[in-house]
Amino acid sequence: MPKYIFILIAISLTSFYGYGQDNTVILKGTVSNAKNDVSNVLIVNLNTQQSTITDTFGLFSIEVRLKDSLRISAVQYLPKEIIINESYLNSSFVTIHLIENIIDLKEVTVTPYNLTGELDRDIDRLDVKPTITSYTLGLQNADVTKMTQSERLLQEADRGKYVSLQTMDEYGKLNEILSYVGITVKINTHKIMNRVSGRTKSLEEMVERDEKKQFEKEIIDKFSKQIMSVNFKIPVSNIEGFLTYCLSQPDFIELKNAGNTIEIWEYLKGKSIDYKTTEEFEN
């Protein structure tokens, strides 16, 4: 009987060990730094290639197993890798401290204006007047987004209705014929000619192209070429080509309207697989 009990215990321990190795749990936690923003920090499970991005408060959750490696990276922080051990698996919540990515600059002399280099002290010494803008003056429509040149050209080319009915002339007087109010039919030939000639369509495509290029710049500012290169396994020299490939996709502009950082990252991650099968990448 003791022999069978020993065998049963051995089998149980083996099963438990195997379960511990393969069991997947949701690791929840936060990244922290006392000085910098902790949102939009990329966290990648190097074993499963699953990834997530921290929210506004630095919170995240990701699937992990014992001995998985997590890489935490952001432009403003030094990259960090951690190995998932029993301590992480048994914790209900973890905190990962990040170190600022400080770039050493050449020595700068600030003495000509009796500056100390400490902003809090120097700002009081200088007679700095507030910048006068339409917003500080309280003017109407000061918060309206400035239109790009392409948007202004499109608005000028496609302004107004094709046909309009008018009862007044250009001076604001009623059109009267024999004491009856006359109705004038006004045809917008400028709008029609721009449509027929294809100028309006060309300007619409130009506006869309400008929006995509601006979104591409926002993506690079958010994730950086180095982070995309490491995680998508695309050389840094090919990142611009990869983003150009994404720009050509019909659903790319819809992604911009979504405005969700995680959705943007997952979209780029999926497109990176397609891009690596193209002739441009292979060459």
Give me the pLDDT at residue 178, please: 47
Q: What is the CATH number of domain 22-97?
A: 2.60.40.10
Give me the pLDDT at residue 18, please: 42
DSSP string, 144-183: SPPPPHHHHHHHHHT-S-SEEEESB-TTS-B-EETTEE--
Q: Which of 8-12, 43-47, 151-155, 277-281 comes out lowest in average pLDDT?
A: 8-12
φ/ψ region of 206 (left if φ > 0, alpha if ψ in -120 to 50, else beta) reads alpha
Rounded CA separation 113/121 (Å): 13
Computed over every residue of the chain, the mean pLDDT equals 77
33 by Cβ neighbours in 10 Å (0-12 / 13-18 / 19+) ranks as middle
DSSP string, 110-124: -GGGT--S-HHHHHH
Rounded CA separation 142/139 (Å): 6
Residue 244 CB neighbour total at 10 angstroms: 14
- What is the rounded average pLDDT of the residues 174-187? 59
For residue 19, what are the CA distances in angstroms to 26, 66, 68, 91, 185?
Answer: 15, 10, 15, 18, 81
Beta strand ranges found along the chain (DSSP E): 25-32, 42-45, 51-53, 59-64, 69-74, 77-83, 94-97, 163-166, 176-177, 180-181, 184-187
Name beta bridge partners: 12.
none
* Both tokens assigned to 48: 């499963």
Is the pLDDT confidence value at 175 over 70?
no
74 by Cβ neighbours in 10 Å (0-12 / 13-18 / 19+) ranks as buried
Buried b (16+ CB within 10 A) or exposed e, 143-154: eeeeeeebbebb
Is the pLDDT confidence value at 6 over 50?
no
Q: Among 34-38, 45-49, 172-176, which range has the highest average pLDDT?
A: 45-49
Rounded CA separation 106/85 (Å): 42
pLDDT band at 83 (very low <50, low <70, confident <90, very high): very high
Torsion of CA 209, 211, 216, 222, to 10 degrees: 180
Give me the pLDDT at residue 84, please: 93
Is the pLDDT confidence value at 224 over 50?
yes
Sequence ranges of the domains in the chain: 22-97, 149-282
Taking only the tens place, the pLDDT of each residue in 104-147 is 656 555 555 566 656 556 656 666 566 666 666 666 665 667 78
pLDDT band at 80 (very low <50, low <70, confident <90, very high): very high
In total, the chain counts a number of residues equal to 283
